[in-house]
Amino acid sequence: MPDIVILLTIAGALAIGAMSPGPSFVLVSRVAVTASRPNGLAAALGMGVGGATFGMLALAGLSALLQQVEWLHLALKIVGGLYLVYLGIRIWRSATTPLVMDEMGAGRKRSAARSFWLGLVTQLSNPKTAIYYASIFAALLPAKPAPWLMFALPPLIFLIETGWYAIVALAFSSSGPRAAYLRSKTWVDRVAGAVLGALGARLLVDGLPSRAT
C-alpha cells in the first residue's frame, strides 16, 4: 500500500476518534458557550497540542511501557480520573450561578492562555488516548514505515484535533447556542458536570486494582 494511502487511512481513523463524544467535547463546547469564541479556539488549540503530544509518545512506545509497567498505567488513570471528577464537581456547583451577556462578552475575565491550558490538561488527563493512537499505528503502519511518515503523524494529529475542536468552538460560540445555553444553564451545566464526573469515575474504577476472588 502506498505511504500516502496509509497516511490518509490513519487520518480517517484518527478523525473518527476525535469526533467521538467525551470530556474534550464537553469542555470545549462549554468554554466556547460560556466564555468567548477566542477562548473556545484556545481550548481547541490545547486539545491539538495534547493530542500531538500523545501521538509522539505513542510512536515512542508509551503503549508498550504502560503495558509492561502496570502501576504507571494505573497511576495515570487515577490522576486523570481525579482531575475529571474535580472538573465535573466544579461545573455542577456553578450550575446555579447566573451569567449575564456582559460577562459572556468579556469572556468572564478568563484569558485565552488559561483556556489553552485547560484544554491541554483535559486532553492529557486520559492516557487511553495514547493507547488508542498506538493501536491505530500498530494496525495501520507497516513494519518499517518511511521516515517521513513517522514525522508527519504528530502534525497530522495536531491538525485533526485542533480542526475538529475549532469547529466545535465556532459552532457553540455563535448566538443561537449561546442563547439556548443561557435559557437552560442550570440543567446544561449539571449534565456537563455529571458527564465529566462519570467519565472520571470510570477512569478511577479502571485504575483501581481489582481484587481476585
* Ramachandran region, residue 108 (left: φ > 0; alpha: ψ -120 to 50; beta: rest): left
Which pLDDT tens digit goes with each residue over 60-93?
775 566 566 667 667 767 776 787 788 788 778 8
DSSP state of 212: P
pTM exceeds 0.75 for this model: no
Measure the CA–CA gap between 52 and 178, rounded to whole angstroms.
30
pLDDT at 27: 85
pLDDT at 212: 44
Grid cell digits, residue 146? 518511511
Which pLDDT tens digit goes with each residue over 104-119?
444 445 688 899 998 9
Which is more confident, 26 or 98? 26
66, 135 Cβ separation under 8 angstroms:
no
Measure the CA–CA gap between 4 and 21, rounded to whole angstroms.
28
Which pLDDT tens digit goes with each residue over 116-168?
998 998 888 877 777 778 777 766 777 677 888 888 999 999 999 999 999 98
Nearest to 93 by CA among 202, 200, 199, 197: 197
DSSP state of 71: H
DSSP state of 67: H
193, 68 Cβ separation under 8 angstroms:
no
Measure the CA–CA gap between 81 and 196, rounded to whole angstroms.
9
pLDDT at 101: 40
Q: How far are the Cα atoms of 71, 123, 125 from residue 77, in angstroms, in the given order?
A: 10, 13, 8
Measure the CA–CA gap between 201 and 198, rounded to whole angstroms.
5
Contacts of residue 162, defined as CB under 8 A and 6 or more positions apart, other chains included, come to 44, 45, 47, 48, 51
Residue 50 has pLDDT above 90, yes or no: yes
pLDDT at 159: 95
Assign 192 a pLDDT band (cuts: 50, 70, 90).
confident
Which pLDDT tens digit goes with each residue over 27-47?
888 888 888 889 999 999 999
